[in-house]
Amino acid sequence: MIATIETNSKKYKIDLTKPLDISIPMRASENNVNAWYQAPPKITPVTDSDWVGSVAQGAAVNFNNVFFNPHAHGTHTECAGHVTPKVHSVNSNLKQFMFLAEVITVAPEKKGRDFVISKKQIQFALGNKKRQALVIRTIPNTSEKLNTQYSHTNPPYLLAEAAVYLREKGVKHLLIDLPSVDREEDEGVLAAHHAFWNTEGKLRLDATITEMIFVPNHVQDGTHFLNLQIAPFENDASPSKPVLYQIIE
């Protein structure tokens, strides 16, 4: 099925039968991707006296409780409410779901004890392109990202200067294959989060950050359409399923 999407007075064609899912599924497993010092997610049948919500155990339906943290247990999309005193809801503020996106691949640079993504790297990758969304794939890029235990590993992160650049360039939706755009331990500064959402100025409530994606190597760098799907949680963050569509020339 071919769809035509018009944005900025330009028409693009995409094939809806060829989605490129860049989310990480959540599993009730020790091998589930994890960050921020949390226990693994749990998916367990409801129990009521001698009744267990499992068809395998005699119930008519499977009826599970799910225990997880959206920031720690997989692909999630968050809004400015993640770092503001007032807890804004991503569900209330993300009202559009299809965006012209650029996929770039970046090798984080060594800086002291850290590896970082700089403004210069993003400038080089984006050039003069204007995009609503930016998808950052870091290298090395292996399937280990699907079950990495990130706690206490000091993963790479985005420098605040890069977040300011993206904000000033008009990028509304930032997606990255790391557990955070900020350093794991930064004493709560969260410089890239604050810079991207402009918390010291006019708050960008319609802007989002999506973390813990996985962009397979067969997905090419370049321009795509992004369908940013979230679960309708009234919370600062929600599990999400970003899907890319390659543009048909």
In total, the chain counts a number of residues equal to: 249
| Rounded (10°) CA dihedral 124, 130, 134, 140 | -20
Q: Does residue 82 form part of some domain? A: yes
pLDDT score at 5: 86
204-216 residue pLDDT tens: 999 999 999 999 9
Q: Does residue 52 form part of some domain? A: no
pLDDT category of residue 90 using cuts at 50, 70 and 90? very high
Q: What is the mean pLDDT of residues 120-133?
A: 95
**Domain containing 165 — which CATH number?**
3.50.30.50
pLDDT score at 32: 98
What residues does 7 pair with on adjacent strands? 10
Q: Does residue 103 form part of some domain? A: yes
Q: Does residue 13 form part of some domain? A: yes
Q: Does residue 10 form part of some domain? A: yes
What CA–CA distance (Å, rounded) separates 230 from 91?
8
Domain hosting residue 131, numbered range:
2-27+72-248
73 three-class SS: coil
What CA–CA distance (Å, rounded) separates 219 from 175?
15
211-248 residue pLDDT tens: 999 999 999 999 999 999 999 999 999 999 999 999 99
Domain count, the chain: 1
Provide the mean pLDDT of the chain.
96
Q: Does residue 66 form part of some domain? A: no
What CA–CA distance (Å, rounded) separates 135 from 105?
8
pLDDT score at 241: 98
pLDDT score at 218: 97
Q: What is the mean pLDDT of residues 156-173?
A: 98
Q: Does residue 167 form part of some domain? A: yes
95-126 residue pLDDT tens: 999 999 999 999 999 999 999 999 999 999 99
Residues above pLDDT 90, as percent of the chain: 94
Question: How would you classify the pairing of strands 10-15 and 208-211?
Answer: unpaired
Helix, strand, coil shares of the chain as percentages rounded to 5? 15, 35, 50
